[in-house]
């Protein structure tokens, strides 16, 4: 039976792989984007109802989060529309909220639901660095990294292999979704994705921030500040799904020339 499930999983993995239009990399995708966005919307609304959301009216930090996020969303939308790939953002209804929390964190769910924690702002220090973080988080969503991770875990658990139905009403599917997307499962600034996904989010997030008019060079001092926060106690990269900060900085420096080609400063604190 185990051999049959393994063979079925391998076959399913092959036939369910598609080339991601953002990154160009082949990905396993077993969950429809519509279904994933609906599950994300439910989780997002629950989170907002249980946490203190900072009003966008009259609060400069909340206004900054909305301004930076909206500019990045517009830049991404304009870019993919000009590339004839506007369907990448089908179903996206962007929202940007600042939540009162000491956590150094931010995230974006499928469908464009973005949350920044107030604890992140003393580390970003300026709009451009915040744009670097939001570009990264938004890339995780538009590049369907969560869908890929869910699909991999579903195959590992035999969901959809032995006649199981792929639906949001499936308790196993819901459990996998919550492990990946529930805010309580998130670590530091970033979702616990694979190192390959993290580097993709760094790369394209840097480009998106530059397209929005934010100086991509701000990525280096931001991650240096993050590195300093670790106090030298960060575990070796091969023991973590996250790239070591020093390795991430080196990669970002390698992406910089490409990002600068998209960078056209606008009147803002960037």
- Domain containing residue 214: 2-262
More confident residue, 102 or 182: 102
The per-residue pLDDT for 154 is 75
The per-residue pLDDT for 12 is 45
Kindly name the residue from 137, 148, 198, 200 that is annotated as catalytic. 137
What's the rounded mean pLDDT across residues 31-35? 84
When pLDDT is cut at 50, 70 and 90, the band that residue 3 belongs to is: very low
CA distances from 169 to 118, 177, 178 (A): 34, 11, 13
**What is the number of domains present in the chain?**
1
What's the rounded mean pLDDT across residues 11-21? 55
Residue 96 dihedral angles phi and psi, to the nearest 5°: -130, 120
Report yes or no on 60 lying in a domain: yes
% the chain with pLDDT above 90: 49
Which range among 10-14, 62-66, 91-95 shows the weakest confidence by mean pLDDT?
10-14
Calculate the average pLDDT of the chain. 80
pLDDT per residue as tens digits for the range 115-131: 999 999 999 999 999 99
What's the rounded mean pLDDT across residues 63-70? 97
pLDDT per residue as tens digits for the range 145-192: 877 887 777 777 766 544 444 455 677 777 776 777 666 544 333 334
Active site residue 200: no
Report yes or no on 13 lying in a domain: yes
The per-residue pLDDT for 164 is 42
Q: Is residue 199 predicted with pLDDT exceeding 60?
A: yes
C-alpha–C-alpha distance, residues 139 and 122, integer Å? 23
When pLDDT is cut at 50, 70 and 90, the band that residue 28 belongs to is: confident
What's the rounded mean pLDDT across residues 87-98? 95
The per-residue pLDDT for 4 is 39
The per-residue pLDDT for 145 is 82
Residue from 167, 18, 37, 211 nearest 108 by CA = 37
Residue from 107, 81, 77, 79 nearest 93 by CA = 77
C-alpha–C-alpha distance, residues 23 and 21, integer Å? 6
Are 155 and 30 within 8 A, CB to CB? yes
Report yes or no on 200 lying in a domain: yes
What's the rounded mean pLDDT across residues 26-30? 76
When pLDDT is cut at 50, 70 and 90, the band that residue 236 belongs to is: very low
What's the rounded mean pLDDT across residues 233-241? 47
pLDDT per residue as tens digits for the range 246-266: 888 999 999 999 999 999 887
Listed in sequence order, the residues at least 6 apart from 31 whose beta carbon sits closer than 8 Å to its beta carbon are 147, 150, 151, 154, 166, 173
> What distance separates the 2 farthest-apart alpha carbons in the chain?
63
Report yes or no on 188 lying in a domain: yes
Residue from 75, 76, 73 nearest 93 by CA = 73
The per-residue pLDDT for 149 is 81
């Amino acid at each position: 039976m185990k051999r049959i499930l393994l063979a079925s999983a391998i076959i399913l993995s092959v036939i369910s792989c598609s080339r991601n239009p953002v990154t160009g990399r082949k990905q396993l995708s077993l969950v429809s984007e519509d279904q994933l966005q609906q599950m994300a919307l439910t989780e997002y609304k629950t989170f907002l109802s249980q946490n203190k959301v900072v009003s966008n009216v009259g609060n400069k930090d909340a206004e900054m989060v909305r301004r930076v996020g909206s500019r990045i969303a517009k830049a991404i939308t304009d870019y993919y529309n000009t590339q004839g790939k506007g369907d990448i953002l089908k179903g996206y209804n962007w929202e940007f909220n600042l939540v009162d929390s000491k956590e150094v964190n931010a995230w974006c769910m499928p469908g464009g639901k973005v949350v920044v924690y107030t604890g992140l702002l003393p580390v970003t220090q300026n709009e451009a660095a915040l744009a670097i973080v939001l570009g990264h988080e938004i890339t995780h969503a538009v590049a369907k990294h969560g869908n890929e991770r869910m699909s991999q875990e579903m195959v590992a658990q035999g969901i959809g292999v032995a006649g199981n139905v792929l639906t949001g009403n499936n308790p196993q599917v819901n459990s996998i979704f919550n492990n990946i997307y529930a805010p309580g499962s998130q670590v530091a600034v970033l979702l616990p994705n694979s190192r390959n996904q993290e580097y993709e989010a760094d790369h394209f997030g840097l480009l998106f921030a530059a397209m929005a008019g934010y100086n991509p060079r701000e990525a280096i001092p931001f991650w240096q500040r993050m590195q300093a926060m670790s106090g030298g106690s960060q575990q070796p990269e091969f023991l973590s799904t996250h790239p070591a900060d020093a390795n991430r900085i080196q990669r970002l420096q390698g992406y910089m020339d490409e990002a600068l080609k998209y960078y056209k400063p606008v009147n803002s604190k960037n």
